Chain A
């Protein structure tokens, strides 16, 4: 049975970007939010360390510094007009979150507390700056809760556990989505004037990841299947500090509070890779340093991990060596109790999953697949674009991790993802509502669920006997080995070949569950199809880029190549071929320079 609904704006995804969009869109027009999870389960809730804004609550800071740090962090691939906009909105949007009720941690004077984070600096002294506004080490949780609460207050319509499987486009104009209701298995058509995609990322295509099970690239895959391009997928961030083998994130805030990375010789090796900011270099730089340490035999016990050490004696030793000062000029020193109060969840994770008390023992960590800089291409107004000229797809918006504005370029700075979701979520909501006010419902195709039924029926009717878990594991391992922190042409070609094979085998996938209610077996299989599409597009985009920039580090092309490659990739998936085009980077006032920390 197919059920029909009509809402002027339909938002897909209920994390920070989707909820912020919903708050703003619902002020003007009839709005609905669809999410495959209950909103409070969204991945925004796992963000820990903070949201970047140059409030200057503890020491001088400037929007311009935040802007430059973000441009530099992006390795000059970020669009500078978009970065200027995001950083200029950072200060008011953080105050707005506080006004909504977000329980930020506080300084002694009652203002919002701020901490250091990788790549965020005082541009004059080049030293790390206190810019990350935080609520202990659960800033994302508090953003998600606060926005959800505001949506309840404002009576936003939610369709919880509605998994969107298709985007409807007619004559080039977005006019709805198709979703399956998990509880019943029924298909629902949502007829809309405007659609906002805020579906999050796709880190689950790698073996070791900080990402939730839900992060399967649905949004990018759905738009690829509808003939739209994906931008800059070769840029995927590996966060330096994931719990060894499990990938669970340990916030950069630990290093912001004074924690250091140590190899098997007891050496604080980041001094060699980033002499000025050391452990607070940008994430791509730190992840590569860890890989190189392990390759050189400096992993702990010869294994593929190093230590993240936040014991007070270690923190204080290096704070003294670095001459680190508090804002009042006194020497920085920390007690175990103070560190515990700054990052309580991290202490809990370490105790639960490692059996380690991080105040007493160092934590084994390795880089973990964390964040998609690439995604659905949009302009600075969150409007989805369909080509290198920037042609807008009327009625279609994207925001948050699924989108590529691009404010993160080749590498995202910590705290800028939470900023991105609230700034561009808001923009998407406002723009979608404005558009919807002046638009008519464009008639639906005669059989709008045909494409979804075709995809699901193929999985349900297959007798091929391929188990999805086998395909999934092989994909994740291959992506980790050959499209990970370091890359070569040979490795990426073998990855492309492997993913193409897996996509063939995927045609023979069969599931055990043929019921309608809560059929997660079927939907996991559908999600695997999304991941394979995104993985192939990522590998091909990466192989084509013959340079090293940000998170894309090639051993066979170790240098950044601005004359040839300071441009964004656009990739279209056609069958098992990926077609590429390129679009220029928007440069306002920052000319590319060598990037050192």
Chain B
């Protein structure tokens, strides 16, 4: 099938100082990933087209983009699910550096602010594993799936307008530890998230949940953190 692609371009170094769009007609298979089309264009038509990618099957989190107006991983959406008109743009709310490549540093800074590591120095005397019931393990299973692709955070209207807001992905990370029965620093994380820029900036738009390629119930996780603070 013939696909008409409209792709965002921005590269000040090469004189493309204002965002604009290039268009391409590509002969595609319905089962092609959008990433396959981008690779085709880069390989065959224009090597300057720039985007991040690695695993190509939705696990590494490199290639979050706005595809037909919604945040997705380019490697996890197929042509047949989009039709013959496909628009590809960078995710919103982070500075664009070149084409689909955005500055991820603010995103990872918010992640790091969550104390994103288990706090618990007590280990069993026999050196074996700490015990955790399947129910306690299940309590935070959903938020362990996060791949830090930023699809949720950059779909959030609050994040777009307020760069102090840590965003959904950081809260998902905090949730993963707050609700882990082994962790001892939930109070510290809840304190961080009760501050300005924390969890109460969320206005429950649900964009994050819709955007998550790992199908994490992001909005619910945020609600659970809010509830834990109250």
Residues of A in contact with B (beta carbons under 8 Å apart) = 37-38, 40-43, 45-46, 92, 94-95, 98-101, 103-112, 135-136, 138, 141-142, 145-146, 149-150, 152-153, 183, 212-214, 246, 248, 345, 348-349, 352-353, 467-469, 511-513, 515-518, 520-521
B54, B58, B144 — most chain A CB neighbours (10 Å): B54
B11 contacts chain A at the CB level, 8 A cutoff = yes
Q: Which of B120-164 contact A (CB under 8 A)?
A: 120, 123, 127-134, 136-137, 140-141, 144-145, 147-148
From B47, B50, B104, contact of A38 by CB (8 A) = B104
A145 cross-chain contacts in B, Cβ below 8 A: 144
Least CB separation from A246: chain B residue: B57
Q: A111 with B129: in contact, given A43-B54, A103-B140, A105-B137 (CB under 8 Å)? A: yes
Judging by beta carbons under 8 Å apart, are B48 and A40 in contact? no
Judging by beta carbons under 8 Å apart, are A112 and B129 in contact? yes
B53 contacts chain A at the CB level, 8 A cutoff = yes
Further 11 A-B residue pairs, CB within 8 A, beyond A110-B132, A248-B57: A40-B61, A43-B60, A92-B127, A94-B129, A101-B183, A103-B137, A106-B136, A152-B116, A246-B57, A353-B31, A520-B50
Q: A108 with B43: in contact, given A40-B61, A353-B31 (CB under 8 Å)? A: no
Q: CA–CA, A568 to B217, complex, Å?
A: 50
Nearest chain A CB to B19 CB, angstrom units: 16
B9 contacts chain A at the CB level, 8 A cutoff = no
Q: A517 with B48: in contact, given A38-B108, A106-B132 (CB under 8 Å)? A: no
Judging by beta carbons under 8 Å apart, are B144 and A142 in contact? yes
What are 26 A-B contacts with C-beta separation under 8 Å? A38-B62, A41-B54, A43-B54, A43-B60, A94-B129, A95-B128, A98-B129, A98-B130, A99-B123, A101-B117, A101-B183, A104-B137, A105-B137, A110-B131, A110-B132, A135-B144, A149-B118, A213-B54, A213-B56, A349-B57, A467-B43, A515-B13, A515-B14, A516-B13, A520-B50, A521-B42
Q: Contact mask B36-62 → A, CB, 8 Å, 1/0?
A: 000000111011101111111111111
B182 contacts chain A at the CB level, 8 A cutoff = yes
The main secondary structure of chain B at its interface with chain A is loop
Q: CA–CA, A103 to B143, complex, Å?
A: 11
Judging by beta carbons under 8 Å apart, are A99 and B50 in contact? no
Judging by beta carbons under 8 Å apart, are B147 and A46 in contact? no
From A45, A511, A520, contact of B59 by CB (8 A) = A45
B97 contacts chain A at the CB level, 8 A cutoff = yes
Nearest chain B CB to A149 CB, angstrom units: 4
Q: A517 with B13: in contact, given A109-B131, A141-B147, A512-B48 (CB under 8 Å)? A: yes
Least CB separation from A512: chain B residue: B47
Q: Contact mask B93-133 → A, CB, 8 Å, 1/0?
A: 00001100100100010001000111010010001111111
Least CB separation from A57: chain B residue: B129
Judging by beta carbons under 8 Å apart, are A95 and B127 in contact? yes
Q: CA–CA, A520 to B100, complex, Å?
A: 12
B76 contacts chain A at the CB level, 8 A cutoff = yes
Judging by beta carbons under 8 Å apart, are B130 and A150 in contact? no
Judging by beta carbons under 8 Å apart, are A107 and B134 in contact? yes
Nearest chain B CB to A105 CB, angstrom units: 7
A92 cross-chain contacts in B, Cβ below 8 A: 127
Judging by beta carbons under 8 Å apart, are B62 and A37 in contact? yes
Judging by beta carbons under 8 Å apart, are B47 and A511 in contact? yes
Least CB separation from A215: chain B residue: B54
Judging by beta carbons under 8 Å apart, are B62 and A41 in contact? yes
Judging by beta carbons under 8 Å apart, are B137 and A106 in contact? yes
Judging by beta carbons under 8 Å apart, are A467 and B44 in contact? yes
Judging by beta carbons under 8 Å apart, are B56 and A212 in contact? yes
Nearest chain A CB to B150 CB, angstrom units: 11
Judging by beta carbons under 8 Å apart, are B55 and A43 in contact? yes
B44 cross-chain contacts in A, Cβ below 8 A: 467, 469
Judging by beta carbons under 8 Å apart, are A138 and B145 in contact? yes
Q: CA–CA, A153 to B121, complex, Å?
A: 13
Q: CA–CA, A100 to B58, complex, Å?
A: 26
A246 cross-chain contacts in B, Cβ below 8 A: 57
Q: CA–CA, A575 to B10, complex, Å?
A: 40
Judging by beta carbons under 8 Å apart, are A106 and B134 in contact? yes
- A-B CB proximity, top 4 nearest: A101-B118, A110-B131, A512-B47, A469-B43
Q: CA–CA, A345 to B50, complex, Å?
A: 28
